[in-house]
A and B are shown apart, each in its own frame.
Chain A
Amino acid sequence: MPLTLALAQINTHLGDVGANLEKHLSLVIEAQSMGADLIVFPELSLTGYVLQDLVSSVAIRPSAEDPQFRHLLEASDNIDLVVGFVDEDSRHRFFIASAYLSRGRVLHVHHKVYLPTYGLFDEGRFFAWGDNIRAFDTRFGRMGILICEDFWHASPPYLLWLDGADMLLFTSASPGRGLSEAPSLESARWVERINQAYASLFTTFVVHSNRAGYEDGLNFWGGSTVFDPDGKLMVKGPYHQEDLVLSEIDLNHLHRARTRLPLLRDERTALVMRELNRIILAGEQVNR
């Protein structure tokens, strides 16, 4: 079954949800006209990344009652979309969130589980930590969403794989860093390497949509990618510029890859659980 993906590696207006919403809606139409079935926007695509004290004023609810989110739900009638935003829950906690919308409904909302609070990052100061990693069903099969630092840890992609996700949708606003003699930044090479590894290890599709543009002195490097279940690069967006990157994938590729390499069939989850329990218990004893 063929599926056309669109990766919207956009720049955003920092803290201006209205302006970003307009951009989303026009790109949705453009992607639709190019035959895309699913468009994936990067992390915090409705708000921009370095929000600091803007967080509470740009937060929205992913529902039809929200005057801005409503337009995205309407836009999802003919094309599925993944959008990044700040989610304020009913207890007024603020999460970095990505939602999957399809035919006017919200199928899934992921709250970023790992908030980097080191080096140039300060997310833990401004956001609440998500507490769930769940796969979900779509009309194109079962998928999972992770946001940036979530997939720098090996366990969230592993959990999604075991939870049935055959396509991992990764979104990020990754600040470029690490200039050397190489033609791309160290941060870009790291992300490409791990995404390729996940695709290979889990024999699954790995789709990554990354921001472009600048905020204060930070640059976002774009370079969105799709890797197939053999770990082969299907498409890569340009570095350091906005683009709508299209890629047609064949979902039957999963059948071929997993016949050749039945890693999922042979994965011993009960053994993992048993050993994890032992390690956690031993750790508690050591720390006592």
Chain B
Amino acid sequence: MSDLTINTNLARKILTGFIHTEITRTGFSRAVIALSGGVDSSLSCYLAAEALGPENVLAIRMPYKSSSQDSLEHAQLVIDDTGIQSLTVPITDMVDPLFEQFPDGDRIRRGNAMARARMIVLYDQSSAFDGLVIGSGNKTEILLGYTTLYGDSAYALNPLGDLYKTQVRQLAGAVGVPDVIVSKPPTADLWQGQTDEGELGFTYDEVDRLLYMLVDERYRPEECVTAGFEQEFVHDVVNRIRRAHFKRVLPPIAKLSKRTVGYDFLYPRDWGT
């Protein structure tokens, strides 16, 4: 019912073709990627290096003072193995002055500010490097809204957004992402000891199987319960999908004229290329 196994050769061919086409059709040849040392951004680096050549990919490590040393070291493994260019830009001095003004800012606010500080660095470097930003958000986090709007969700193109987390792991293993990265517990690394699964309250294996049934196979929630998922879990995930939808669409523009961007002014992004 929920077999998420993918043919990694086929996925690799389609995704490297996608990266190469979408970067070069607008006259670019280079890409920048925020490399955390996790499996998603590591996979993006491997695919981009294959699509564009390692010399055309710039990985940027952006540690905050509380970021784990493991993250930096794992990112270095990816940089060394792929031969891509790299840069390390600490964000502590960007984030901390904000919360000196707002010392009661909770860790959600701080985490979001870190994600948005990284976006500022990434887009600035994309201009300096003359490359487009490749994002690494996977289908699981996009559906659950486990992202920071205008933070890690900001990118020019995203090769991984239609792969569930468990599929990202499968593809990462196949393209040569080191096992220590593929098998470690996923974390946004926004505060010490944070793990995705701890924060979400369920495992990726569980939620990916449920999301696959709900979204890809169009099962009704009650059919998922019949198939063996806990009612509360199904209910929680369905609500998360709905509540997070604003993160997946452009904000609404109030329509006034006869022709309005987003409603009846409709063009593909690849217009004219």
A interface vs B, CB < 8 Å? 11, 13-16, 50-54, 176, 179-185, 213-217, 219, 239-241
Contact = CB atoms under 8 A, between A and B. Distances in A.
B268 A215 contact: yes
B272 A52 contact: no
7 contacts: A14-B270, A50-B270, A181-B7, A184-B10, A214-B270, A216-B268, A219-B17
Contacts, number: 69
Interface in B251-270: 264-270
B5 A181 contact: yes
Given A53-B267, A183-B9, A217-B18, 13 more contacts: A14-B272, A54-B268, A54-B271, A179-B6, A179-B14, A180-B3, A180-B6, A180-B7, A181-B5, A183-B7, A185-B10, A219-B14, A240-B13
A217 B270 CA distance: 9
Contacts of A219: 14, 17-18
B10 A183 contact: yes
Given A14-B271, A52-B267, A215-B270, A181 B3 contact: yes
B22 interface: yes
A239 B271 CA distance: 24
B273 interface: yes
B21 A53 contact: no
A52 B264 CA distance: 10
B18 to A, nearest CB: 6
**Most A-side CB within 10 Å, residue of B22, B264, B273:** B273
Interface in B226-273: 264-273
A14 B273 CA distance: 5
A13 B273 contact: yes
A216 B270 contact: yes
**Most A-side CB within 10 Å, residue of B3, B265, B268, B273:** B268
Given A53-B267, A217-B18, A219-B18, A15 B10 contact: no
A15 B269 CA distance: 11
B17 A52 contact: no
**Most A-side CB within 10 Å, residue of B9, B11, B264, B272:** B272
